[in-house]
Amino acid sequence: MATVITMPKLGLTMTSGSVAKWHKKEGDRVEKGEVILEVSTEKITYKVEAPESGVLRKILVQPGTKVPIGTPLCIIAAPDEDISELLKEAPTAPAAEKPAQPEAKPAPVAAKPAGEEVLIKATPIAKKIAKEQGIDLALVTGTGPGGRIVEKDVLDFIERQKAVAEAKPVAKAAPLKRIALSDVRQVIAERMSTSWQNSPMVTLNVDVDCTLLKKLREDLKSSFKEKGLNLSYNYILMKACAVALKEQPMLNSYLEGNEVVLYDEVNIGLAVATEEALLVPVVKDVAGKNLYEIASDGDALIEKARKGELAIDDVTGGTFTITNLGMFGVRDFTPIINPPQCAILGVGEMKDKPCVCDGQIVVKPMMTLSLTFDHRIVDGAQGAMFIRRVKELLENPLLLLAVLK
């Protein structure tokens, strides 16, 4: 029996996807479980497997074409099976977009012939000079009574023409380099624009004294290394955020119509830069895990992201996101919410700075946190209490150890 493969829905907010690549061509034999094509979303390139064995009889969507979820992509059937009815039912997918062609410019309108100068109002001396110099009076602007062209108008026109002739020609600018957006980048652009336009965002910044946080990491780093794990500051931040999110659950929610839906678990996405795009793998149930478990899951996800091996489950289900630009020397910034989530935490560079402590100037490792939240769901006070709690846990990590499970 013939099988129609459609564009899969790979996430809660996914409405469309693009065909990135076909691994088979029409007429090829395919086996059940064999990868036949790849589709791209804003989060991942997903390999679609054949649900049944057969022959790839018809490809309905070409690479680079964006289509809604549920759109038929291809038909797999027996070599001699009649698929004419399926072809009639399958909607025609739009072709891949081509760059817009520049509009043809209209040809310049020719100047009036000199023979029509009888219709132009000019003084006799102006006409005489124009005739001697071969000037079309239709190109001269008159400043005399009623717009009449006078001698000075013609002489000024001659001077302007000389200045133009003597000017050096302007070098033609080289064409600018253009880079087409990848399928993933196009969807990211669309989602970020939608988030910026639809969510009234507020960003709060706090400075965190990382003295005890650095000591905690140094004390624990060797034990993590023995287990083959990297104790990143991001993992400690995840745990601190999970504790604060449990205390301020409105930041762990999303808006659906006129209702706020609270998530049961705290699943935190960590933005990871790859060569192709920014990916956000998700560590699940952070509130219910200890630092070892968070580090184990986080290390595995980051490795898969850099190898391009993330599965759909690895990048979906996030309820809150952390994005860290500190390694680039960025002090603070305004992160944009990753919909449908309602909040995101930006992490800046940890740097030694002079601080006033008990009336004395001392140097301490400081870091700026930037919390952006959707003001439709979260009030300023709730956002402030959340980021204050995260700051408290990071500045007093023994409090964090008490809830590490």
Length of the chain: 405
Contact 252, 245 (CB under 8 A): yes
Report phi then psi at 385, rounded to 5.
Answer: -65, -35
Catalytic residues: 375, 379
Rounded to whole angstroms, the Cα distance separating 185 from 45 reads 12
**Going by C-beta distance under 8 Å and a sequence separation of 6 or more, which residues neighbour residue 85?**
none
User: What value, to the nearest 5°, has the Cα angle with vertex 274 and ends 323 and 301?
Assistant: 70
**Going by C-beta distance under 8 Å and a sequence separation of 6 or more, which residues neighbour residue 190?**
42
